[in-house]
Structure formats: C-alpha cells, structure tokens
Structure 1
C-alpha cells in the first residue's frame, strides 16, 4: 500500500487591492502566475489570509506565517501590510522568498536578501523565465531549510532566540465560546469605527480636501546608490567606476539623483557638492558591506 505524498503549504504574502496604479486584476494575474510556477511541485499555494476555518483574520495570518512550509512575499509597490507580514516571517526565521516587480526599488533593511524580479507589465516571455526561476528557488530553499544550520535572515546578524507561537489545548465548548467572544469584539470595533466615520462633518471633510498633499519622501543618497548597485548582476565593475567622481558613470549617477530632487534643492551649488560627497560615501559603504 502506497502512501500519498504530503502536500506542502506555500503561503503567499502580496498586495490584493489597488496600489501604486496597479489594480486588483493585476494582482490576480500575479497570483495566478505564482501558482502556475509551482504546479506539480507538491506545494499548495494560498494567501496567508486564506483558510477553510472561520476565525479572526489577523490570527489566521500570524498562524499561517508561522506554520507554512515556505512563504513567497511580493514586495512590489511596498504595501505596508506586506512589509509587516514579511517582517514577522523573517522574525520566525523560517524559509521565505522575496519577489518584486522591476519598477519597485529595494528596501534598505531587506536589500541583503536576494529578490527575484519580474516585469511589471507581465510581458509573456519574461514571465515564463521568471516562473522557472521561482520554481527552482522554492525547491532549493525548501530543501536547504531542512538543515539545522539554515537561516533566512536573522542569524546572519548574531545569536537570537527565534520567536515561537505557544499552543494550548482547549475543549470544544471553550474554543467556541472564545471564538464567539472574539467575533463580538471585532463587530463592536467595526461598529465603533463606522460611527466615528459618520461623525465627521462635511465642513471637516472640506477642510481636509483643501490641505496640500503630503510631499513624497525623498530617497537618501545611500538608498539611491544601494538600489542602483543591487539592481545589477555584477556590481564590482560599477563600484570601481563610481569610486572616481570624474568618471562618466559617476556623473550620470549624480545627474539621475539630482533629477528626482525638488528644483530649489538641486539648483544650489552648495547642495550639489554635498550630494557628490554623500554619493561617494554611499559607494564606499556598499563596497565595504559586500567585500568578501
């Protein structure tokens, strides 16, 4: 008698609603691409928020982030919820794979972790290549995670006690009462939030609409340089060229950075001199961080 192979669980963390001009249908396509990548691999791919059981969604997400055999996290558009859930998975120090589209910059804190990149326009031929890379990466990462020495991120920076979720057995009645209580609390919270929204007067809304838009946060020279160097396969040659402030590559880097600054900053010579200095320092910092 043969036993059925175990179905492995691959959790998926990604945006599901409109963000950065990308609609829900775009994310549906991305989710379908990821699922197709792992067809016939023994992995069942589901959002970490999905479950056959009824319960509080936040609890479900945390439990799945802890229990799933592997997690794929799409940080495209830097959705805050996605980044938070990625942080939790990394804190558990369990296998995780980060992917992003080619229009999203690297985040400074997670930039040391390899990111698999796919085209935002979901061009067919590039997507086919991405699907093969993702399939191989999932298999290799899962196999590597079986080693006692495996670490995704945390233990590269020191000795830490990895977070765990406590388990406590309870009776059926106790569980049902607790679940009902949590649902009641959730309903009360939603009702309270709804009343708060309704209490906002039309004059207050008008006042809010007249406020100037919040200015987009500018990337620092360090973030700009790290994004650029992390986006190339072999950064050693580019680092060498950028070490000379008079090289064409450095001048191009400086021009690109100045382009995204407000005109009143980029046009001042004293600011440009400081920016040149900080760009050079960022190149040297990246070189030291990747040495060896």
Structure 2
C-alpha cells in the first residue's frame, strides 16, 4: 500500500474514490470557505513529499515538516508515520497537492476545492390517498431520509438544501395507482404539475414504486434530466433521493462497475466522484471560480 489518506473521525465524506485498500490515484476534498477540513495521511516504508500546485489562498496546518524550494514550499512526510493536515480556504478555488515518494516517479494527487456554501430549497410531498386506499408511511421516517439526503449534498458538494414547508399531502382520487405503466406515469406527471403549488427549486414526491408493489422499495424516477421534481418510492433509502436529485442536476446513471457511486444502480457507499461534484457545482453555481 503506497499511501493511505482518510478523513478524521466525524469529518464530512468529500473524497472521490480511494479505491480498495486505500490505494490512491486521486482524492478530492470539498471545503467551505473559512471552514476547516482535516484529513489524516499514513505513509508506508518510504519518505514522501507533498508539493502544492496552483494558486489558492488556503491555510495549511500540519505536523509535517515544511521546507522551501525557492519561493515554493513543500511538506516532508517521514516513513511509517501518521500526519494530520487541516485545510482552511479563504477564497473560492482549487488547490492540488502532488504526493510522491522520495526519488520515485510514482505520484498521487490530493485536490482541495474551496467554495462558498450554496443554498437550494426543496418541497416534499406524499401521496396520501387514492382509489387503492391511503399510503402507509411514517412522517418521522421520511424526515429522517430527507435529513440524510441534505447531509449528503452538504458534505460533498457544499450545497445546503432547505425544506420549504411541511410534509405536504397530495390526493389523487382520479388516478388508479394499481395500474402502473407509461400511460400511468404520464398521467401522474400531469397530475403532480397541477397539484404542486409550493414554490421551490426541487420537489420530491413519495408514493408507490413504478412496479406497483409496496414491498420492493428502492425505486425512483425523474421525469427528464434537469426536471424540477422527482418520484421516490416510500420505502426507498435516502440514497435513492440523492440519486434522483442528482438527475435533476443533469447527472446521468452509471453502470454497476461503480458500486460506490450515488449514480450507480447500487449506490453502496453513497459518494459522488470529482467529475460529478464539479458538474453539480457548475449547474448550481453557473459561474464557478477559475481553476
């Protein structure tokens, strides 16, 4: 294992993908302006150098030894040692750090992205009644899922989602939700557009899944990339909400080869990768800072 990087206990999960056994090709950390983020780096049997690249007003607090090469500084990481690095960005932007063992061509990169917090609103709705009877849901359980979804975007993309209003109930006595399919979904979409009156950036609707079964769960649907609302099965985990909201910000599905990613069918570890984070930031903030 050449080098191992992880966040300290309790820190937000802003990394891209460390890979198996901590092998690193790229680590990515989102840091709000003026808010510190701390990571731990564990070296192997070699001495490593960490060299900043690019310009960013980012304060680095560490127990690693510093040395200066001309006007530039770098950090010396002794072998078989744990080091703590705390990054505090003063201005929006990026800063990359080359990580290379002494007298070796191997290189990994740690990328620190600093952004001011952005805020987006959302409204949540529940299909409360239709011809097949009232939906079975727990308000506390749904609020718990919404809080997890909010925390996911907060820690990885530095976007603060704020719920507008209470958990709204929608009734569709004119729709037979026991008959799912393309026609049903088309009617369902039109009905939602007529029923939703709350003004928010995004709308989340909890109901039955698209198969019409209440015992399967983990189903969701977004009516087109960039849509302002998405459909989530009442039994789906919070990661399905994050997945569908990702579609509303123009993220596409990934295949099963990316099981740790939120946009994969599995979304096991619930991470966005660096490209997705930058896509989200560019959609949420149309004028991101120059790199």
Which category of TM-score, normalised to the shorter sequence, fits these structures? under 0.3
User: Which structure: larger Rg?
Assistant: 1
The alignment's TM-score, normalised by the length of structure 2, stands at: 0.27
Q: Which has the higher helix share?
A: 1
TM-score normalised over the length of structure 1:
0.27
Whose strand proportion is higher, 1 or 2? 2
